[in-house]
Amino acid sequence: MTYRQIIFFLISLSTQFSFGQMKPRWQFKDELMHHLISPKDTIYIHDRHHLEKLNGLSFTDSSATLNCNSKTGNKVSIALGLGKFEPTKHKLYFSDTVWKFIHNEKRIDHLIAKNLIDDKLAYGVDGDFPKTEIKYIKIKFNGNWLTIPKSSFANFYEVHTETIEAYLSKDKKFIFLYISASDGIGSYAIKFVFDKTKFVTRLISTNECTDGFDFLDALPQDCQ
């Protein structure tokens, strides 16, 4: 192997690692990366269909639990709880008003959507109060509780508990928790990433013409 071939191989390997499963020229790449906490989080993009799914989900309208023993003997327990959104306990900023003057009279021209709650972009909100918010996410891995700060899920609203899916990474070092939320305009999906002790990061899809979980796995080839 020549020096040039070695350099090309290393560059190709680095690119593959940096973007996980996502191809560098994937048409939705910029859209997915727009919501990442860090560009490095692309390494967590994997096709969940090739991973071990953690079964045992049970849910109600306001909660979901999952208890599973993996094929390799790891015991995983996941609990998610929703609660009623209480506007008075939050700082709300849904829109900016643009005014115009007609015959010297000040009138509303249009509104610019902001959808901010507590100074963060509120997912699942479309210019009005959400009905529910996530109150907690708790995960126990082999008897040890993971550290999950509230800030990791504080701006996610209108979650569908029945959609939750969880997977173990191939090396068994990470838990991937997928959640779908809201409906129609404002719908989104989240992929939380946890290691054996704590929350690591999350990926978000707001693409409305593809399956949210598939989008997070960089699978769709076009909009349907």
Instruction: For the chain of 224 residues, list the mean pLDDT of each consecutive stretch of 10.
Output: 47 46 88 92 94 96 96 95 92 60 61 69 81 96 97 95 96 96 87 97 94 95 85
* Pair 189, 215: CB distance under 8 Å: yes
Q: What is the pLDDT of residue 19?
A: 56
Q: What is the pLDDT of residue 14?
A: 43
> Cα 127 to the chain's mean position, in Å?
20
Q: What is the pLDDT of residue 127?
A: 63
- Residue 70: CB atoms within 10 A of its CB come to 17
Q: What is the pLDDT of residue 124?
A: 86
pTM for the full predicted model: 0.83
| Phi, psi of 150, rounded to the nearest 5 degrees | -60, -30
Residue matched to tokens 């680095």:
14
Q: What is the pLDDT of residue 23?
A: 85
What is d(CA 42, CA 40) in angstroms, rounded to the nearest whole number?
5
